[in-house]
Chain A
Amino acid sequence: ETGVTQSPTHLIKTRGQQVTLRCSSQSGHNTVSWYQQALGQGPQFIFQYYREEENGRGNFPPRFSGLQFPNYSSELNVNALELDDSALYLCASSSPGARETQYFGPGTRLLVL
């Protein structure tokens, strides 16, 4: 069974640029959630995708958007990057019937200069 993978592992961007982060969910999982974890803080929920549809959203502006593909992999896109977007971005997948059990990937560390 393959775990959750994310790419890239690290990324450096400048203010105003756009970034796309990728996540492959664990085999058999059709739900993917994205989180932002700033240094010294717990993860904050960005949004969740279920069967290719956005299934809920946290308190993040519209410049944070996402996609889920038929194979349940997912992308997080952030436009017009700001310095405060510097964080660890985590994706987590879960399976039907086990909503509480999320399996996290190792994250993508984004630095905005």
Chain B
Amino acid sequence: TQLLEQSPQFLSIQEGENLTVYCNSSSVFSSLQWYRQEPGEGPVLLVTVVTGGEVKKLKRLTFQFGDARKDSSLHITAAQPGDTGLYLCAGEDSIMKTSYDKVIFGPGTSLSVIP
């Protein structure tokens, strides 16, 4: 059962445009992470959000964790070709957590920024 949903699945935009991608769940997460994965590479951690309503900025990327800690968004301002990649959200499931940290990934949003 997929616990994390991401939208849109695919996104193709022109350089300089703004965009927002979403990560949603019916479950509450104790923390949520965003990764970017490029072809042939493993995911690279961009940010971890922990507190409901938290907003974090990383240069042109703005991450927000929902107040109820069930959803998150990633906003990119003035997208550049180097932003191209698969954006994955991953949550630590606070309900299903057992003796280890089980990180659940969403299916990802594939972003293509055209020069």
Contacts and interface: CB of A to CB of B under 8 A. Distances in A.
Interface of A: 4, 33, 35, 40-45, 48, 50, 55-56, 58, 90, 92, 99-107
B26 interface: no
B44 interface: yes
B107 A90 contact: no
Majority-rule SS of B interface residues? loop
Given A42-B105, A42-B107, A45-B102, 20 more contacts: A41-B107, A41-B108, A42-B88, A43-B43, A56-B98, A56-B100, A56-B102, A58-B102, A99-B101, A100-B31, A100-B48, A100-B92, A100-B101, A101-B48, A102-B45, A103-B45, A104-B43, A104-B44, A106-B40, A106-B42
Query: Interface residue tally of chain B, by bracket?
Result: 20 to 34
Q: Which 4 A-B pairs have the closest CB atoms?
A: A104-B42, A56-B100, A42-B105, A55-B100
Contacts, number: 55
B104 interface: yes
29 contacts: A4-B42, A41-B107, A41-B108, A42-B4, A42-B88, A42-B105, A42-B107, A43-B105, A45-B102, A56-B98, A56-B100, A56-B101, A58-B102, A90-B42, A92-B42, A99-B101, A100-B33, A100-B48, A100-B101, A101-B45, A102-B45, A102-B103, A103-B45, A104-B42, A105-B42, A106-B40, A106-B41, A106-B42, A107-B40
